[in-house]
Amino acid sequence: MESLDVAEVAANTSDPHAGLRAIASLRTLTERLELAQVEAALRAGMSWTEVADALGVSRQAVHKKYSKKVDRTIPVARRAR
């Protein structure tokens, strides 16, 4: 099923079972896409702070969520302590 079709099912409240399954599928897709974009941003030289700002969350939140999931071959700038 295409993503737009899944979104239509998720928005349609006439069949809650199908709608909830569609929402779960969209959540999975969103998580995969977000990780891919976070990795692309880090590869492009963006900092965790810049990534967080773009996502509308704190640096701590984005770092906690993705620091162990991103491709370890991506050079990530470390903050000076």
pLDDT band at residue 79 using 50, 70 and 90 as cut-offs: low
Number of domains in the chain: 1
The boundaries of the domain holding residue 60 are 3-66
Query: Domain for residue 76, yes or no?
Result: no
Residue 75 has what pLDDT? 86
Residue 2 has what pLDDT? 77
pLDDT band at residue 81 using 50, 70 and 90 as cut-offs: very low
Query: Domain for residue 79, yes or no?
Result: no
Query: Domain for residue 74, yes or no?
Result: no
Burial of 36 (0-12, 13-18, 19+ CB in 10 A): exposed
Query: Domain for residue 31, yes or no?
Result: yes
Q: pLDDT by residue (tens digit) across 12-22?
A: 999 999 999 99
Pick from 42, 52, 51: which is nearest to 77 by CA? 42
Is-above-0.85 flag for pTM?
A: no
Mean pLDDT within 11-39: 96
